[in-house]
Amino acid sequence: MASVSALNSPTTAAPKASRSSRRSGGRPRFGRTAVLVIAALYFIGPLVCSFLFTVDSDPAKGFTFSAYSQIFSVAGLWPALQLSLLLAAATILVVFLLLIPTVIAVRLGSPRLRSVVEFVCMLPLVVPSIALTAGINILLRWGTEYLPPTPFWVTFVDMQNGSFPVILLLAYVVMALPLAFRTLDSGMRAIDVRTLLEAAQNNGAGRARAIVTVILPNLRGAMLNAGMLTLALVLGEFTVSSILGYTPFAVWIVNGNAADDGTVTTAVSLISLMLTWAALLVMSVSGGRRKAASNKPAT
Q: What is the CA radius of gyration of the chain?
A: 28
1-36 confidence digits (pLDDT tens): 444 444 444 445 445 544 544 444 445 567 888 888
- Give dist(CA 288, CA 205) in Å, integer: 29
Please determine, for residue 289, whether its predicted confidence score (pLDDT) is greater than 70.
Answer: no
**Dihedral, CA of residue 269, residue 271, residue 276 and residue 278, to nearest 10:** 160
Residues paired with 58 in a beta bridge: 62
Q: CA-CA distances (angstroms) from residue 14 to 2, 154, 222?
A: 19, 84, 48
Measured in degrees and rounded to the nearest 5, phi and psi for residue 219 equal: -95, 10
Residue type, position 79, single letter: P
In this predicted structure, the answer to whether residue 283 has a pLDDT above a threshold of 80 is: no
pTM of the entire predicted model: 0.77
Long-range contacts of 184-190, Cβ-Cβ distance < 8 Å, separation of 24 or more: 184/99, 184/100, 184/103, 184/219, 184/222, 184/223, 184/226, 185/103, 185/114, 185/118, 186/222, 187/218, 187/219, 187/221, 187/222, 187/223, 187/225, 188/103, 188/104, 188/107, 188/219, 188/222, 189/107, 190/222
Which of 10, 33, 57, 45 is CA-nearest to residue 266? 57
Say how many residues make up the chain: 299
Please check whether residue 175 is in contact with residue 237, taking contact to mean a CB–CB distance below 8 angstroms. yes
76-134 residue pLDDT tens: 888 888 999 999 999 999 999 999 999 998 988 888 888 999 999 999 989 888 999 99
Domains of the chain: 74-257 (1.10.3720.10)
Task: List all residues 6 or more positions away from 171 whose beta carbon is below 8 Å from its beta carbon.
Answer: 132, 133, 136, 240, 244
Task: Give whole-number Cα distances, 74 to 50, 55, 133, in Å.
Answer: 19, 17, 30
Mean pLDDT, the chain, rounded, equals: 81
CB 61 within 8 A of CB 208: no
Percent of the chain with pLDDT over 70: 81
Give the whole-angstrom CA distance, residue 244 versus residue 250.
14
